[in-house]
Structure 1
Amino acid sequence: MKRKTYWGYGVATIADAAPYSFVTVYSIVFFTTVAGLSAETAGMISAVTIILNGIAEMSLGYVSDNWNSKYGRRRPFLIFAVVPLGVGLIALFTDFGWDETLKVAVYIGAGFLFWIGFGAYYTPYSALGAEIAPGYNERSVLRTCARVFGIMGNILGMVLPLAMVELLAGLGMSDRGAWFSVALLIAVVACGSILITWNSTRGMEKPPVEDKTKPKAGLVQLLRDYIQILRLRPFIFLIIVIFAFVAANTFYSSNMVFFARYKLGLGDQVTSTIFLISMIVNAICTPLLGWAAIKIEKKNALALALLVSGIGAIVFRFLDVSSYLGLIAYACVFSIAYAAFWQLFNAVLYDISEVGEFVMGKRVEGSVISVYGIAFSLSMSISSKVLGSMLEWGGYNGALAEQSAHAVTTIENAFMLVPAAALILAAIFQFLYPLNKGRFELLERALHNKRKGLSYDTTGLDRIIRK
C-alpha cells in the first residue's frame, strides 16, 4: 500500500473520534446541567437512542456488502451519513427551552438521527479498511495511521469542549449558546473529514464479485448471515471484549467531569487539561502500540494494555485519589487501554472477514462490522442506562453545586471500580482469542486454494474453524 492511501483513508477517523467522544462524555453533563433533566432521564435518553441505532444499524453492513453501484459498495454510504450525523449532533446539544416531555421526545429523535448517521458512516468506513488493507500486519499499520487522526478527533471532541464553553461564556454567550456553538464546530469538522476520505478513496474498493449461486439479499438472508457470524469461534471472544471495554469506557468517560467537580472541586478548564494529558499519552502510545502489534502480535498487545489499565484502576480506587495529580495519573493509566482498543481492535476484527469468507463462502466485511456495531450499541445502551440509574440511586442531583458523601462515593466507584472489572474481563478474553498470525497465514493459504477450487488443508485451524 502507498503511504498516501493510509493517510487518505485515516482522516475520516476524526468523524469517529470527535462526535463519539463529545456525545458519550458530555451528553449526560449537558442534559443534567443545561437542559435541566434528571440523571435518570438523561441515562434513559442515551440508552434508548443508542439501542434504536443498534436496531437500525443491523442492516447497514449487510446492505453495504451487497450494494452495487459505479461509486462502490461502501463509499456511497459516507455521503449519505453526513447530513443525519451533523444535524443530529447539533440538535443533541441544543436547549430548546420546552417542557420536559417534549424535550425528551426531541432528544430521543436527535439521538436516533445522530446514531443513524454515525452508523451509516462508521460501518461501511470500517469495512472499507478491511478491503484496502488485506495483510495481517498491513491492517495494524492502517489502524495506526487512522489512530493519529483519531487522537485529533479526541482532542476536538473530548479535550476542547469544556474550555470552549468556558471561553464563550466569558465572552458573554449563554451556556446554551456556547454548547450549541461547540456542537456546530464539531459537526462541521467531522462531516468535512468524511468528505475528504470519500474523495481520497476513489477506486480503492474491491469490485463486487458476481455470483449467480449467491442467495438473494433480504431480511431472512441477513439474519442467517449474522447468526453465522456470531457462531464464528474467534468472534465469540471479541463480542465479550466489545461489551466489557464499552462498559468500562462509558463509566469512565461519563464520570470524569463529575469526579473532578464533586470529589476534587476542580473547574471545567482543569478537567479539559486532564483530557488533553490523556490525549498526549494516547499519542505516545500510538507508535509503541504499532511496534508491539508487530513484535508480539496485535491481539496480545491489546490484551496486555487492557490488563495493565484494569489493574491500575483497582490500585487507584483503593489509594483514594484526592488530588489533581492523582487524577492525572489515573487518567494516564486508563488511556493505555483506550489507546490500544481504538488503535488495535479494528485491526483484530478485520481478520474475522477471512474466517467469515472461509466458512460462509463470501466476503462479509460489512456484516462483521455491523454485528460489531450492534454489540457496541447494545453495550453502550445498557451501560448508559445502568450509569444513569446508579447515579440516581446514589443521590446525584445535577442542580446542586455540591453532592452528598454517598453520591460522591457512587461517582468514585462508577469512575474506577466498574471500569477496572470490565477491563480485566476484556483482557482475559482478548488473551484467549484464538486467531493469531500463524493461524491467519494458514487460513489465507487454505482460502486461496478454496477460491480457486483446489484442495486445501485445514490442519491447525481447528480452534478457529467450526467443523
Structure 2
Amino acid sequence: MPRMLPMSSKLGFGVGQVGEGITGVVFGTFLLFYYNQVVGISAALTGVALAISLACDAISDPLAGSISDRFRSRWGRRHPFMAGSAIPLALCIVALFNPPADMPDLFYFGWLVVFAVLARLFLTLYHVPHMALGAEMAHDYTDRTRVFSYSQLFGTLGGAGFSFAMLTLFFPTTADVSHGMLNAAGYPSFAAVAAVGIVISIGLCVWGTKREIPHLPTWNVEYERLSPQRLWREIVTALGSHSYRMLIFGLLGGQLILGIEGTFMIYIYVHFWELSTEAMRWLSPVMLLGVPISAAITPYLTQRMEKRTILILFSTWIVLNTNILILLRLFTDILPKNGDPALFYVLLACSLVTGLVAPAIMITFNSMFADIADELELRTGGRQEGIIFSARSFGFKASAALATILGGIVLDLVGFPKGAEAGQVSADILFRLGIVAAPATIIIGLANLLFFAAYRLNRAKLAEIKAELNQRRAGAAAAAS
C-alpha cells in the first residue's frame, strides 16, 4: 500500500504555486502591455524581447531537471534549488518595471531582454524542482491528482487574487488616463508587491514540504559530468515513451494557441469589449469561484474516469468557451452592445467556466506526467522526474516564445496603434483582431486534441508497472541485506 501524503505536505506543496501564479500574471498580462502601451516600444519588438527570454529559459529547463535529478544533499534533490531561487527572482521582477526614464527604444529592448531572461532563469530553478517534488511525494494514481489539485488551486487563486488586488489598488480609472492600465505610476508598486508575494510563497513551500525529504525516492547513479551528450541522452530516453511524446506534442500545440490568446486577451478586454479597469478586475474573482470546485472534483473524476478522457473533454470546453463570444460579436447581433451591463455578465459567466475547467486540465496534465516517471523507471531504472517536468516546462515556454513573437507581429500586421485610447481603435482593426483571435484558435485547438487521444498509459497499465517496480525494489532490498 503506497504511503498517502499528510495534508500539511499537500498544503505546503500547493502554496508554492502562488509565486508561480504571480509570476505568470506579471509576464502573461502586464509586461507586454506595459512596454508597448506605457513605455511605448512596438508590440513586435516587445514580443521579440519576451520571446528571447522564453527561448533562453526553455534551454535552461532540461539543465535544471538533469542537475536536480542527480543532486545529492542532506536537504534532498529539490529543496536547495527551490530555496535559492526566491530572492533573485523577486529582484528581477522589480527591475523589469523600473527601467530608467527617457531612453531610446533599443535601450528598453535590451533592458527587457536582460531582466526577463534572468527572471525566467530563476523561475526555472524553482519551477522544475517544484514540479518534480510533487511527482516524488505522491505514489498513488489518485493521490497524485490530489497533490497537483492543491498546487493548481493555490496557483490559480494566487494569480487571480493578485491580479484583482493590483487592478484595484494601483490601476484604477482616473481623470488623468483613459484606462487604469495606462497609469505608469502604478507599475513600480505593483512590481514590489509581486516580489514580496513570490518570496513568501516559495519560503512557505520549502518549509512546508521539508518533512517529506526522508520519504523521497533517490537515484543512486554514478557521477557523470554534465555535458550536452548526457543531457541529450536523458531527454531522448524520456521521449522514448509514446505516451510522453503525445503529451509533449499536445502541450506544444495547446500552449501555442493559449499563448497567442493570452497576448491578445488584454487588448480584447480593453479595446474589443471596451471593459473598464473596474469591470476587468471582477473577471478573476468570478473565475476563482470555479477553482475550488475544479480542484475538488478532479480527483473524484480520476477515480472513475481515465485521465486521458478528462483531458480531452475539458480541453474541448476551454477551446470553445470565450472564442464563441468573439465569433458572435463579429458575425451576429446576438450579444448586447459594449457598455451594456448584460454583456459584462456574459463575460463573467465565461470567466466562471474557465475557473471550472482550466484548473482541471492542468491538474490532469501534471498527474499524467507524474505517472510517466514510473513508466520510465521500469524501463531505465532511473528516477527522472526533473527531466520529465523540464521537457513539459520546455514545451510551455518554447511554444509560448513562438506565440509571443506571433502575437506581437500580428498586432502590428492588423495595424493596432501604440498607446491607443480606449474606444478610439477603428472597427476594421478590431474586426481583424477578432478574426485572428477566435476562428483560428478553435480550428487548431480542436485538431490538437488528437495527440491526447493517442496517450496510452491508463489505470490498468500503471497498476502493472507499480507491481513490477515493487517486486524489483523488494528484490534489491533483499539482495542488499
Q: Does the aligned pair in 2 maintain the 1:82–1:194 contact within 8 Å?
A: yes
Q: Does 1:179 align with 2:187?
A: yes
Counterpart of 1:447 in structure 2: which amino acid?
Answer: L
Counterpart of 2:39 in structure 1: which amino acid?
Answer: A
Distance 1:165 1:114, change over 3 A: same
Secondary structure (helix, strand or coil) at the match of 2:76 reads coil
Q: TM-score when scaled to structure 1? A: 0.90
After TM superposition, list the pairs within 5 Å mapping 1:231-270 onto structure 2.
231-270=240-279
Counterpart residue number, 1:392 = 412
Q: Does 1:196 align with 2:204?
A: yes
Distance 1:195 1:312, change over 3 A: closer
Distance 1:314 1:379, change over 3 A: same
Deviations 1:379-405 (A, max 9, x none): 100011011111110011122212233
In structure 1, runs of 5+ residues without a counterpart are: 455-467
Q: CA deviation at 1:189?
A: 0.9
Q: CA deviation at 1:375?
A: 1.4
Secondary structure (helix, strand or coil) at the match of 2:100 reads coil
Secondary structure (helix, strand or coil) at the match of 2:210 reads coil
Q: CA deviation at 1:33?
A: 1.5
Which of residues 28, 33, 38 is equivalent to 1:34? 38
Counterpart of 2:280 in structure 1: which amino acid?
Answer: T
After TM superposition, list the pairs within 5 Å mapping 1:20-419 onto structure 2.
20-97=24-101, 98-167=103-172, 175-205=183-213, 206=216, 208-212=218-222, 217-313=226-322, 315-320=324-329, 322=337, 323-401=343-421, 402-419=424-441
Say which is worse superposed, 401-410 or 12-21, in terms of deviation.
401-410
Deviations 1:65-114 (A, max 9, x none): 00011121100001221123111222222242222111110110110011
In structure 2, runs of 5+ residues without a counterpart are: 330-334, 338-342, 477-481
Q: TM-score when scaled to structure 2? A: 0.88
Q: Size of the alignment, in residue pairs?
A: 453
Output the CA distance in 2 between the equivalents of 1:169 and 1:276: 22
Distance 1:421 1:165, change over 3 A: farther
Say which is worse superposed, 399-408 or 97-106, in terms of deviation.
399-408
Counterpart of 2:365 in structure 1: which amino acid?
Answer: F
Q: CA deviation at 1:365?
A: 0.4
Output the CA distance in 2 between the equivalents of 1:251 and 1:265: 20
Q: CA deviation at 1:190?
A: 1.6
CA-based RMSD of the aligned residues comes to 2.4
Q: CA deviation at 1:147?
A: 2.2
Distance 1:344 1:171, change over 3 A: farther
Output the CA distance in 1 between the equivalents of 2:291 and 2:212: 29
Output the CA distance in 2 between the equivalents of 1:253 and 1:335: 16
Secondary structure (helix, strand or coil) at the match of 1:118 reads helix
Output the CA distance in 1 between the equivalents of 2:164 and 2:348: 14
Q: CA deviation at 1:207?
A: 5.5
Deviations 1:198-247 (A, max 9, x none): 112224132534345x7655432121010111221111111122112212
Q: Does the aligned pair in 2 maintain the 1:19–1:157 contact within 8 Å?
A: no
Deviations 1:413-457 (A, max 9, x none): 344334423432343322331111111111111223344559xxx
Q: CA deviation at 1:374?
A: 1.3
Output the CA distance in 2 between the equivalents of 1:311 and 1:343: 20
Identical residues among aligned pairs (%): 19
Q: Does the aligned pair in 2 maintain the 1:247–1:419 contact within 8 Å?
A: no
Deviations 1:128-155 (A, max 9, x none): 0111101111101111122221122122
